[in-house]
Amino acid sequence: MLNNGFLLFSGYAYELSTSIPFKVGQWNHCLVTYDSSNICFYVNGELSLTANQVNEPEPLPLSNLNTINTGTHRIGISLLNWDETNGLIDDVRIYNRALSGGEVKALYDYESTSTNPPPVIVNQPQSQILLAGNDATFCVTLKDAVNYNYQWQRNGQDIIGATLKCYTINSVTAAMDASRFRVIVSNSSGTAISTEATVTVVVTDSDSDGLSDYDELLLGTNANKADSDGDGLSDFAEVRTHGSNPLTTDTDGDGYSDGIEVARDGNPNNRSVTPTGALAVFPAVDVEFYTLNNVKYQLEVSTDMVGWTAQGGVVVGNGGSQNHLVRASKATQFWRLKVVQ
């Protein structure tokens, strides 16, 4: 055994004069042979030192070492102190002859592959087709229930922190469409690389406004209505083009709807900018109505539905819809459209 830089063998302690290649945190295969002439110390199948690399604190001839000693044989102590072994000991064997170097290597190969087999993948990660916003999970199953090292990759590049047998992507986006995922599994006995699995992201846009249903879910807008707040601008135009709020008709609170401001060179995010042709004083009302060609219309306003007052000039129809901004008070008002000669 090796403890605190000393080799303990048949009751004698030998100080080691060379670095022993132990693997920290893993099982190590250690073997000592003595053939009445030489001491050989093997670690993980390889010869680490022999008698001519050992310096005794109190030199003793090798003839003094016997394979059978009348004293107590102890395993896992450090210079006769029982509690100083820094590690674990398992599967102890004692042979009645010195093993050859080839036999030591064969024994190590047998032990290492039986207790720590190389990874063999039996279930590969599966490709997935998902709606944007859903989670994607890739897993791999190994032949043996052994602790392996895992490293997931996307398009051949390591994914930081993806070191478990399963890898989950929260809320896939269109940017991940056609990405390739695989995992590299390894241990001290070998490495296995999984097949590549792809993720296909399906982007749906139920109202065809340019924003995906998933984007609208995040925004809180209506995925089935292109203009959620009804201000004359599509949700896409408000979010992607003008930066206005798709959930309110008047982002800057100036009395003019976002749609009117954009249509008349205003700024839906700046209440100090008045739309062209709009009243200088707000609040105002945007009145939209459909007209017939060459038919004349007059907007009228009333507070009691008895007396009516013309609002603005006569409008000549053009066969389509027309919008007109009209002054509005905070009191109750009623509006009507009248055909005039």
Give, for all 341 residues of the chain, the pLDDT tens digit: 333 344 444 444 444 444 566 776 667 888 888 877 778 888 888 888 776 544 444 444 444 444 445 556 666 655 555 555 566 777 788 888 889 888 988 888 777 666 677 899 999 999 999 988 899 999 999 987 678 999 999 999 999 999 999 999 999 988 888 899 999 999 877 899 999 999 999 888 888 888 888 888 889 999 899 999 988 899 999 999 999 999 988 888 777 888 888 888 888 998 778 777 665 445 667 778 888 888 898 888 888 888 888 877 788 888 888 777 776 665 677 888 889 87
- Burial-class residue 298 by CB neighbours within 10 Å (0-12, 13-18, 19+): middle
CA distance readout (Å), 300 to 145, 255, 306: 83, 20, 12
Taking phi first (over 0 means left), then psi (-120 to 50 degrees means alpha), and beta for anything else, what does residue 149 get? beta
Q: Give the CA diameter of the chain.
A: 134
CA distances from 200 to 131, 174, 211 (A): 8, 9, 19
pLDDT value for 138: 97
Q: How far apart are CA 224 and CA 220, in angstroms?
A: 12
Distance separating alpha carbons of residues 256 and 300, to the nearest angstrom: 20
Where are the chain's structural domains? 2-115, 121-202, 283-341
What would you report as the CA-atom Rg of the chain, rounded to the nearest whole angstrom?
Answer: 42
CATH architecture label of 121-202: Sandwich (2.60)
Q: What is the dihedral of CA 42, 44, 46, 51, to 10 degrees?
A: -10
Determine the pLDDT at residue 321: 80
Q: What is the pTM of this model?
A: 0.43
